[in-house]
Amino acid sequence: MAYSAKVDDLTVRGAKQTALHERAAVTALQIFGRKVFVRAVIEVSNFCRENCCYCGMRRDNHNLARARAHHDELAELLIHHRPAAVTDVNIQAGEDPVAAREIVRPLVRTLRRETNLGISVCLGTLDYAIYEDLKAAGASIYILKFETADSHKYDQVQAPGSLAERLNHIRWLSANGWKVSSGFIAGFPGQGESELLNNIRLANELPLHGSSVSPFVPGNDTPLSTAAPGNVETTLNCMAILRLLRPNWVIPAVSALNLAQAGNGYRRGLRAGANMATINLTPPDLRRDYVIYKRDRFIMDEERVLSAIAAEGFSPSRQSLADFYRNGLPGKVREEAVLSAR
């Protein structure tokens, strides 16, 4: 019987919550086996033209030292010094068209020429011409989060542009050759269960290949800095629901889970059906002022990521996300998944 998202699954706790997460984990296991995609993230610019109330890099935050990375430093790191488990790189920045054109596009071109990495970019809402340039350079995955399905809340928290514009860009990217991943925040101030359920329904309706769920973390130097954080239990339930709705999706365990529940949130994400982990490779001098939430970030370095994966009985996939999106899983992985689920 097909799964249908319902409010009760958002609020469930105790044994029923454990059963929900186990059902999601088995669903992921049946598709992906005990393999977890491992990507690196590189944060290349904290300049941002947007003013989101929930993000520390908002343009009105004058307490940041704004900086852009250098192509040669990042290329050297990713070509010659990336961890062996990494099959993909996500190049991320504030909404900074200058960085997209002058740093990201040349870096993508270099990585495409020198490595077999899958390449994703998370750069915000840009001009269609820049999207085309990035795809021509060799990127194939675009991450563009819609944050909330409530257009009033979207405007209230000053998310980029309008919700309608954001969704139009997601649909355009998908229609023009990109594999698109999106996501939303669980626990915005005043967010009710019906809004969360609408977030899940919108993600399910969009032409996506994956989605994240991040617990709301009140960011330093933002208008929401004194708000209560999002509930990690609800966040994990959202992740499990997405897995049951979309068995084939790539769903990341996000580092904010460990901010919400120190030391254990990330592993619990893997138990709730997540199948991707991210190692942060941003050079420390750039990372200090790349403040999405707080300066006191929980950095998922190579040791932490690989330890969490191993502790949950998984191992890194040798197939890149980009190859998975092109060709599906290798036959051997599918066979092992079926055997593991029996």
pLDDT tens digits, the chain, 342 residues: what are they? Answer: 689 889 999 999 999 999 999 999 999 999 999 999 999 999 999 999 999 999 999 999 999 999 999 999 999 999 999 999 999 999 999 999 999 999 999 999 999 999 999 999 999 999 999 999 999 999 999 999 999 999 999 999 999 999 999 999 999 999 999 999 999 999 999 999 999 999 999 999 999 999 999 999 999 899 999 999 999 999 999 999 999 999 999 999 998 898 766 668 899 999 999 999 999 999 998 888 898 876 677 789 999 999 999 999 999 999 999 999 999 988 645 555 544 544
Q: What is the reported pLDDT for 154?
A: 98
Q: Residue ranges of the domains in the chain?
A: 7-341
Q: Under 8 Å CB-to-CB from 189, ≥6 apart: which residues?
A: 216, 224, 227, 228
pLDDT value of position 299? 86
Give the pLDDT score at 338: 47
Q: Which residue type does 309 have?
A: I
Q: Residue for token digits 């690196």?
A: 40
CATH of domain 7-341: 3.20.20.70
How far apart, in Å, are the Cα atoms of 88 and each of 33, 177, 277, 318? 19, 18, 11, 10
Q: Using CA of residue 127, residue 131, residue 136, residue 139, what is the dihedral sign?
A: positive
CA dist., res. 59 & res. 47, Å (int): 8
3-state secondary structure the chain: CCCCCCHHHHHCCHHHHHHHHHHHHHHHHHHHCCEEEEEEEEEEECCCCCCCCCCCCCCCCCCCCCCECCHHHHHHHHHHCCCCCCCEEEEEECCCHHHHHHHHHHHHHHHHHHCCCEEEEECCCCCHHHHHHHHHHCCCEEECCCECCCHHHHHHCCCCCCHHHHHHHHHHHHHCCCEEEEEEEECCCCCCHHHHHHHHHHHHHCCCCEEEEEECCCCCCCCCCCCCCCCHHHHHHHHHHHHHHCCCCECECCCHHHHHCCCCHHHHHHHCCCCEEEEECCCHHHHCCCCCCCCCCCCCCHHHHHHHHHHCCCEECCCCHHHHHHHCCCHHHHHHHHHHHC
